[in-house]
Amino acid sequence: MVVLSQPAALEHCSLIKTCKPTCVFTGIPVIDLRDPEAKTLIVKACEEYGFFKLINHGVPMEFMTRLEAEALSFFNLPQSDKDKATPFGYGSNKIGPNGDVGWIEYLLVNTNPQLTSLKTLSENFCYEVNDYILAVKRLAFEVVEIMADGLEIEPRNVLSRLLRDEKSDSCFRLNHYPPCPQLQALSGRNLIGFGEHTDPQIISILRSNNTSGLQICLRDRTWVSVPPDQTSFFISVGDTLQVMSNGRLRSVLHRVLTDSMKSRVSMIYFGGPPMSEKIVALPCLMAKGEESLYKEFTWWEYKTCAYKSRLGANRLGLFEKTANASL
């Protein structure tokens, strides 16, 4: 196992893809949540990019900085101590069950029911995680309700009710991407910290420290780097929302590169529906006579399929009606 809190041995790098740096993209939509036009701007951003930066979001900055400090304290522990948390959500290097690897270590927890304790973690760490999750959950509810207003969905809680449901399958992930200066010095390239993928849930809310690394893929298949901003959130459309909007809102393909000298810490809330929820295009978003692009499935069916596939697979392709018609 790679000891990710220390510079890792280069022989492990052969398992992980490398990538040349790409251009910084200054065209990311920036949306003020308190802007009277936010509902229109959010829908436009989700149609064009599936991604936007959110400012004036109302989550206290101290919630972010305190959790980041606790996360770094945990990730800087000796590997033997971190390994004790493996049954409770800690992992490193391996991403999923099908051979995907990355220059990463992480802590993944379910957010429903409310997280109250994590064995092997400090009481203060659990307290900070709880505070942060509760604040970001409220933000997620507000964002999808404003989005519903922009889409003219009635009632406006059609999306938020799925996240509020006591059986909502939402989760929270803390990622740590250690630097790897040896590889940068040898090749001038960056390691892939987390390979290209779309998020399968409804919506993702990301906050990271001020280290770059996040990249998104534009419609023309160009990869661009997202300038970091530790005071803001980055919102991503997930596959489930793409299906519910019948393709009007598109999930964004993204990845993370490591920095050669600085560690990157990110925290992501993934808002998912209940396991038994049937995922289908919302009739109110379809024109008269319009056909749904995807066959109906439950979130459990899609999640099971997604997590059995490779990270970069076109997971939704298996559920497209045109694809199934040709089988």
Q: Print burial letters for 117-137: b (CB count within 10 Å at least 16), e (below 16).
A: ebebbeeebbebbbbbbebbb
Q: How many CA atoms lie within 13 A of 291 on its CB side?
A: 6
Residue 229 to residues 53, 67, 213, 233, 292: CA-CA distances in angstroms?
9, 16, 12, 8, 37
Which one is catalytic: 207, 250, 255, 264? 264
**Known catalytic residue: 219?**
no
CA–CA separation, 274 vs 64, rounded Å?
A: 27
Tokens of 289: 């006579």
As a whole number of Å, the end-to-end CA separation of the chain is 41
Q: What is the dihedral of CA 36, 41, 46, 52, to 10 degrees?
A: -90
Which residues have a catalytic role annotated?
Answer: 264
